[in-house]
Amino acid sequence: MTQAEYDIVVSGGGVAGLAAASVFGSAGFSVLCVDPAPPITARDAEGSDLRTTAFLQPAQALLDRAGVWAPLAPHAADLQVMRIVDAGGEVPEPRVTREFDASDISEKPFGWNLPNWLLRREMVAHLESLPSVTFRPGTGTTTLFTRESEARVGLSDGSRVRCRLVIAADGRNSPIREAAGVEVKTTRYGQKALAFAVTHPIPHENVSTEIHRSGGPFTLVPLPDHEGRPSSAIVWMEEGPEVARLAALPVEDFEAEMNIRSCHLFGPLTLASRRTVWPIISQVAERMCAERVALVAEAAHVVPPIGAQGLNMSLGDMRVLLELAEAAPERLGDRAMLETYHRRRHLEVRARVTGIDLLNRASMMRAQPLRDARAQALDAIYSLAPVRKTLMQMGLGARG
């Protein structure tokens, strides 16, 4: 039986997989992108992803080069200021508030925030304009066979394809990673996150706000106005049983609790979407490559949603892969290319996962003396201008 041939097979049609297909397709590589579940591209559809993604400057530049950013830009909310609030005192009120303004280090905002369901909608539409990309939603990968010169991938529709490189963008439980025999180290926190959208009377003024008390951060990220009112996306991290309790509350009771947790910084919050629940873990693959396989995004690394690092790390993976592929297209997917990719990404990824792990553990603190120490540390860091600027630059993706 004749097998179709591509330069690259992307396993995974989430935001990371669609971005990979766009990036490499726009660079002229022939790409097949598959995912067993068709993308849900409507806000109110059952199963839609109500989380948001903040694209920091380097990630936005990569998407702009791939031609993806133009259709996304009208829907994006600028992230000009990152505000951290410590509300870990005896009562849930702000006691330390510090703001990190992008204007201190750049003429541009830190980033731009977009809903994940909308990202999928626009990215799928963009793939249709790329003649070198084939997108097959509803089809997944089932088998992987590699040799030094190529990879052969079996698909759930019974067909098989050949390629020079397989990009595993198929999530934290990646079937390609498992088939390639790459182990992972997983850290579980006993946390989950509630993700939902709200409206509020006080404009967010492009300020992303992270409120720390206990259990995990309560983060409000700017969205464009919804039905004529200022709107934000919220990720509320707590211990698992508490998230289950909150998710089951009637809307009126839930709004009362989220208003207390928000410290009323934006006035009374009104729920503007359904509530979705997501598990929180850290995870790092032992290697970011195997024979003819590159691991990217959550197949390679998973972090708690703190500091907008998750998908931006993923696009950092793709940026390095693209640089290597374009520098020597004839070596796409070979051992030397993938070993270089691993060396350039793995150390930085591990460092960022470790840093976010520490921040998450600090945000979970319940003992009052530890919460007091956290507030003092935030105050001390902010007061040192060189340290503050270095942290902002590292947050954008600069190597520290």
Most confident residue range from 77-81, 84-88, 98-102, 144-148: 144-148
- Percent of the chain's residues with pLDDT above 70: 92
Domain ranges of the chain: 4-72+116-186+282-362
C-alpha to C-alpha distance for 242 and 352, rounded to whole angstroms? 28
Strand pairing partners for 101? Answer: 81
> Per-residue pLDDT averaged across 266-280, rounded?
93
**221 vs 198: CA distance, rounded Å:** 10
pTM here is 0.89
Write the CB contacts of 117 (distance below 8 Å, at least 6 apart in sequence): 40, 41, 42, 43, 45, 48, 49, 50
Average of per-residue pLDDT across 273-278: 92
| Distance of alpha carbon 327 from alpha carbon 329, whole angstroms | 6
pLDDT given for residue 378 in this prediction:
66
Asked if 212 and 85 count as a contact pair (C-beta separation under 8 A), the reply is yes
Spatial neighbors of 83 by CB under 8 A, at least 6 apart, are 97, 98, 99, 100, 207, 208, 209, 210
Tell which wins on pLDDT, 98 or 68.
68
The predicted model gives 299-306 an average pLDDT of 91
What is the pLDDT averaged over residues 275-283? 93
Over residues 155-178, mean pLDDT: 96
Q: What is the mean pLDDT of residues 172-198?
A: 95
At residue 399, does pLDDT exceed 50? Answer: no
Return the H-helix or E-strand segment holding 190. strand 184-199
- What pLDDT is recorded for position 383? 63
Superfamily for domain range 4-72+116-186+282-362: FAD/NAD(P)-binding domain (3.50.50.60)
Predicted pLDDT of residue 400: 38
Lowest mean pLDDT, pick from 94-103, 178-187, 373-382: 373-382
What is residue 86's predicted lDDT score, i.e. its pLDDT?
86
Q: What is the mean pLDDT of the chain?
A: 89
pLDDT computed for residue 181 by the predictor: 96
Contacts of residue 343, Cβ cutoff 8 Å, sequence gap at least 6: none
pLDDT in tens, 365-392: 777 777 777 767 666 665 655 555 665 5
With cut-offs at 50, 70 and 90, classify the pLDDT of residue 106: confident
